[in-house]
């Protein structure tokens, strides 16, 4: 891999490699852009097949965090860490404390958090070595489970998206199809039910669909049918790549708005959705509630303030839709533009200050 070429074209500032053989630590931290603030992003632990694969992943994920934080209006940059190990067999206090010391050596340029393969307990080991970690338990002054706030953000985003289609933004009488009733999907189901929406749900775990049927009177459909149910909104809250060449023509709902990451199998799907008259709420904008929530740990966590700030997702999406309409670009491209524009403006301001 031509690392410097990639860093130069994709805009990464710094890539740091850490190793401590006696703890099994093999880690890469990528700091993509710190124009807006320190780089925040989770620590993923995964048994990557090769170092190149780990590096490719951390470069891609750190860059995505820059745009997510920017679009959310946070004063944070984008970063990510990967640890090459099997989370089922190789996690230990020593490993995470060694990682914590490595994070500490960056002196706050990178702030770590939970991601795939890591949890609150791991964050507590990291916290023993560095204060540059968020995602701690509420009893440690942390923000706890982010998914209720992510669900609130998705709800605000749905409101903005409904308004874009000329509707009131109210949920009463609407039909919402939810794919996945895990942490986010189950909170979203409750919020929508409380607001008078009818729910059509699916999950591979029947306990979850049974719960939604009994608590929210939800209609349950098999996983392969959720995309084609008659609904006002399709809310992907499970896995990625749900909008793909195979599902595009089966999708009936005019709106795609949910918490899942990487909903589009490829970037071309955004234009394909538009051709079919659908509105897509870019995932990295609508699902930023969890990031907003966790970022509040940096200033002393306060749930009320985090929830108030999550309302920003509504305004950001209104801005994205306006830009998409005016420039005749997809909502995905407009969201990227909104994120990049903010970084560019702040970069110019800080340069002019330095010159003065
Ligand atoms: P989760 O693992 O708690 O829930 C996922 C649910 O989807 C589970 O109930 C699972 O059984 C179900 N599922 C899996 N495959 C399915 C399939 N083929 N069809 C139907 N259901 C299926 O995860 P989560 O924390 O709720 O996150 C959901 C999505 O939102 C993920 O893509 C995640 O990356 C994204 N996200 C989550 C947060 C957060 O705060 N938790 C924040 C941002 C983005």
In a domain, 32, yes or no: yes
Long-range pairs for 58-64 at CB < 8 Å and ≥24 separation?
58/15, 58/28, 58/29, 58/30, 58/82, 59/6, 59/7, 59/10, 59/12, 59/15, 59/30, 59/32, 61/30, 62/12, 62/30, 62/31, 62/32, 63/10, 63/11, 63/12, 63/32, 63/33, 64/284
Look at residue 352 in the predicted model and tell me its pLDDT.
Answer: 77
> Does 264 lie in the same domain as 242?
yes
Look at residue 356 in the predicted model and tell me its pLDDT.
Answer: 64
Query: What is the best residue among 68, 113, 154, 182 to mutate for testing ligand 1's pocket, by most ligand atoms within 8 Å of CB?
Result: 182
Question: Which atom belonging to ligand 1 lies closest to the Cα atom of 288?
Answer: 43
Look at residue 141 in the predicted model and tell me its pLDDT.
Answer: 86
Per annotation, catalytic residue among 80, 91, 278, 319: 80
Look at residue 350 in the predicted model and tell me its pLDDT.
Answer: 78
> Does 113 lie in the same domain as 252?
no
Catalytic residue flag (residue 80): yes
Can you read off the two tokens belonging to residue 27?
């880690």
Instruction: State the CATH number of the domain containing residue 227.
Output: 3.40.50.720
In a domain, 262, yes or no: yes
For each successive 10 residues of the chain (356 residues), what is the average pLDDT?
A: 91 97 97 98 96 96 96 97 96 98 98 94 96 93 92 98 94 97 97 98 98 98 98 97 97 98 96 98 97 94 95 97 98 98 92 72
Number of separate domains in the chain: 2
Residue pair 175/328 in contact by the 8 Å Cβ criterion: no
Residue 78 phi/psi, 5-degree rounding, is: -110, 130
> Does 281 lie in the same domain as 252?
yes
In a domain, 35, yes or no: yes
> Does 205 lie in the same domain as 129?
no
Q: What is the Å distance from ligand 1's center to 325 Cα? A: 31
Is the CB–ligand 1 distance for residue 293 below 6 Å?
no
Name the DSSP letter for residue 251.
-
141-to-129, 236, 321 alpha-carbon distances in Å = 17, 31, 37
> Does 181 lie in the same domain as 44?
no
Q: What contacts 230, CB < 8 A, 6 or more positions away? A: 175, 252, 253
> Does 185 lie in the same domain as 264?
yes
Look at residue 351 in the predicted model and tell me its pLDDT.
Answer: 77
Residue pair 283/263 in contact by the 8 Å Cβ criterion: yes
Domain limits at 269? 147-291+298-339
In a domain, 354, yes or no: no
> Does 114 lie in the same domain as 154?
no
> Does 128 lie in the same domain as 169?
no
Name the DSSP letter for residue 313.
H
């Amino acid at each position: 891999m031509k690392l410097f070429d990639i860093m130069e074209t994709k805009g990464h500032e710094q890539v740091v490699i850490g190793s401590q053989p006696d703890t099994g630590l093999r880690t890469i931290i990528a700091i993509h852009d710190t124009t807006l603030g320190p780089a925040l992003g989770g620590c993923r632990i995964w048994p990557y097949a090769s170092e190149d694969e780990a590096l490719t992943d951390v470069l891609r994920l750190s860059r995505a965090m820059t745009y997510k934080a920017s679009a959310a209006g946070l004063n944070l940059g984008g970063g990510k860490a990967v640890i090459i190990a099997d989370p089922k067999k190789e996690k230990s206090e020593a490993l995470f404390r060694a990682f914590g010391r490595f994070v500490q050596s960056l002196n706050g340029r990178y702030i770590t958090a939970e991601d795939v393969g890591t949890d609150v307990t791991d964050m507590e080991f990291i916290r023993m070595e560095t204060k540059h970690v968020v995602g701690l338990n509420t009893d440690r002054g942390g923000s706890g489970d982010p998914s209720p706030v992510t669900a609130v953000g998705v709800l605000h985003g749905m409101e903005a998206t409904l308004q874009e289609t000329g509707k009131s933004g109210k949920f009463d009488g609407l039909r919402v199809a939810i794919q996945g009733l895990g942490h986010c999907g189950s909170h979203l189901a409750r919020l929508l039910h409380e607001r008078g929406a009818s729910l059509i749900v699916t999950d591979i775990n029947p306990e979850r669909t049974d719960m939604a049927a009994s608590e929210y009177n939800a209609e349950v459909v098999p996983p392969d049918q959720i995309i084609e149910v008659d609904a006002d909104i399709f809310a992907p809250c499970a896995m990625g790549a749900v909008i793909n060449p195979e599902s595009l023509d089966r999708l009936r709902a005019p709106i795609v708005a949910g918490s899942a990451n990487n909903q589009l199998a490829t970037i071309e799907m955004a234009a394909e959705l538009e051709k079919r008259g659908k509105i897509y709420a870019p995932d990295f904008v609508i699902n930023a509630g969890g990031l907003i929530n966790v970022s509040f740990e940096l200033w002393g966590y306060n749930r009320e303030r985090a929830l108030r700030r999550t309302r920003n997702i509504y305004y950001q999406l209104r801005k994205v839709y306006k830009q998409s309409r005016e420039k005749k670009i997809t909502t995905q491209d407009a969201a990227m533009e909104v994120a990049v524009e903010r970084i560019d403006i702040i970069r110019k301001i800080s340069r002019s200050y330095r010159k003065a």
